[in-house]
């Protein structure tokens, strides 16, 4: 069976402090995007073979792959084993702050549960997802948007009637999430960059991880300033721990226009994509 595995953006991400377990307490709103990977899952009956393949050669195919971790967690929890074939057709770039790996993990948990006759409840799938990664539970919920608390894994679905056109711009470098959180406490704001919440009908958009990330990756604050100068752009922010910046526009035509301008501004090496919230 083939499943859609959507990307996400964080409309806001507030860090409340560091916890004794090393994670950070956050308040975030995650919003699904139409852009996503495709995950094919086949339950092949008796045996214990797992064949994992991926269209992106840079994604590891061993036990560190989040899709593989999800399958292992599912089998451990149900106590049942079988042979599986999983293929990831990637559209979401890695290390982008778009939750690609987390989304694949959630899709495998839900998909394997479906194919095995639904032995696990939604609550159990969310709990398993939270053990794999903080972003995974949000993708288990089939909702356009959800709020994440705790380290992000305590999710509540929210009403989100907007289908916002947007542009995603990812420069040709990934940003490791642990590094961004580690740098947060010591980091300082750069002069001339807008960190203040941008007030929109769907809430006050800001991301506390911009501060540590912008200190090292100075192209990103430049890009944010440039995006905010474009008359079609309502709001612009870094997603998650970066390196993707997103800009919200009013119409799809405007999103396409900003995407074209961004390709010129950033050069050939940037990944630029127009999409929309809601999946
Ligand atoms: C940046 C976001 O994507 C925003 O949604 C998430 O907070 C990160 O979620 P994720 O990629 O699923 O992260 P995890 O796999 O749970 O954690 C990776 C690493 O990021 C750091 N981490 C993550 C989440 C959190 N609330 N505090 C942290 O300090 C920890 O060093 C952790 O070891
Ligand atoms: N199924 C997967 N798809 C993509 N990357 C994966 C997968 N499994 C493991 N990885 C590894 O995870 C790392 C982060 O990739 P991912 O796309 O999840 O990052 P991200 O978008 O920054 O995540 P987040 O927004 O959750 O912080 C990459 O280095 C990649 O090699």
| 118 contact partners, CB below 8 Å, separation of at least 6 | none
pLDDT, residue 279, reads 59
The closest ligand to the CA of 241 turns out to be 1
User: Where exactly are the structural domains of the chain?
Assistant: 2-157, 165-276
ipTM: 0.97
Residue 189: closest CA among 171, 205, 209: 209
Contacts of 242 by beta carbon, 8 Å cutoff, 6+ apart:
96, 97, 175, 180, 209, 213, 217, 220
Report d(CA 68, CA 51) in Å as an integer: 10
48 touches 33 (CB < 8 A): no
Which atom of ligand 1 is least distant from the CA of 13?
4
Token code pair at residue 72: 């292992």
Site residues for ligand 2, CB cut-off 6 Å? 59-60, 64-67, 88, 94-102, 104, 135, 177, 240-241
Architecture in CATH of 2-157: 2-Layer Sandwich (3.30)
- Atom 7 of ligand 2, residue of closest alpha carbon: 101
Tell me the pLDDT tens digit for each residue of 65-118: 999 999 999 999 999 889 999 999 999 999 999 999 999 999 999 999 999 999
Query: In terms of CATH, what superfamily is 165-276?
Result: GHMP kinase, C-terminal domain (3.30.70.890)
Rounded Cα–Cα distance for residues 227 and 146 (Å): 26
Identify the residue whose C-alpha is closest to ligand 1 atom 18: 178
Cβ distance 61 to 50 under 8 Å?
A: no
Asked whether 151 lines ligand 1 (CB < 6 A), one says yes
In the beta sheet, which residues pair with residue 157? Answer: 146
User: What span, in angstroms and rounded, lies between the C-alpha atoms of 70 and 79?
Assistant: 14
Question: Running DSSP on this structure, what letter comes out for residue 69?
Answer: H
Phi-psi domain of 202 (left: phi exceeds 0; alpha: psi -120 through 50; beta: other): alpha
Active site positions, annotated: 8, 135
pLDDT digits (tens, 9 = 90+) for 160-185: 999 999 999 999 999 999 999 999 99
Taking the CB of residue 200, how many other CB atoms lie within 10 A of it?
Answer: 15
Q: What is the pTM of this model?
A: 0.97
Q: Which stretches of the chain drop beneath a pLDDT of 50? A: none
As a whole number of angstroms, the distance between CA 51 and CA 107 comes to 16
Q: Are strands 84-89 and 233-238 parallel, antiparallel or unpaired?
A: unpaired
């Amino acid at each position: 069976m083939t499943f859609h595995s959507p990307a996400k953006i964080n409309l806001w991400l507030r860090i409340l402090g560091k916890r004794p377990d090393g994670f950070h307490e956050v308040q975030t709103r995650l919003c699904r995007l139409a852009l996503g990977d495709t995950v094919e899952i086949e339950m092949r009956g008796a045996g214990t073979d797992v064949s994992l393949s991926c269209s992106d050669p840079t994604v590891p195919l061993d036990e560190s792959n989040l899709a593989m971790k999800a399958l292992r967690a599912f089998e451990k929890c149900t106590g049942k084993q079988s042979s599986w074939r999983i293929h990831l057709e990637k559209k979401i770039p890695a290390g982008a702050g778009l939750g690609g790996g987390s989304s694949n993990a959630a899709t495998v948990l839900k998909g394997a549960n479906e194919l095995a006759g639904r032995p696990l409840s939604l609550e159990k799938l969310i709990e398993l997802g939270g053990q794999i990664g903080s972003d995974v539970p949000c993708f288990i919920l089939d909702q356009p948007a959800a709020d994440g608390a705790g380290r992000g894994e305590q999710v509540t679905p929210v009403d989100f009637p907007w289908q916002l056109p947007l542009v995603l711009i990812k420069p040709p470098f990934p940003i490791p999430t642990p590094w961004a959180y580690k740098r947060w406490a010591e980091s300082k704001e750069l002069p001339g960059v807008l960190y203040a919440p941008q007030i929109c009908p769907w809430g006050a958009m800001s991301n506390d991880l911009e501060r540590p990330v912008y200190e090292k990756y100075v192209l990103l604050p430049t890009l944010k300033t440039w995006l905010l100068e474009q008359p079609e752009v309502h709001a612009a922010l870094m997603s998650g721990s970066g390196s993707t910046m997103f800009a919200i526009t009013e119409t799809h035509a405007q999103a396409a226009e900003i995407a074209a301008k961004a390709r010129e501004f950033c050069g050939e090496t940037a990944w630029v994509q127009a999409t929309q919230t809601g999946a």
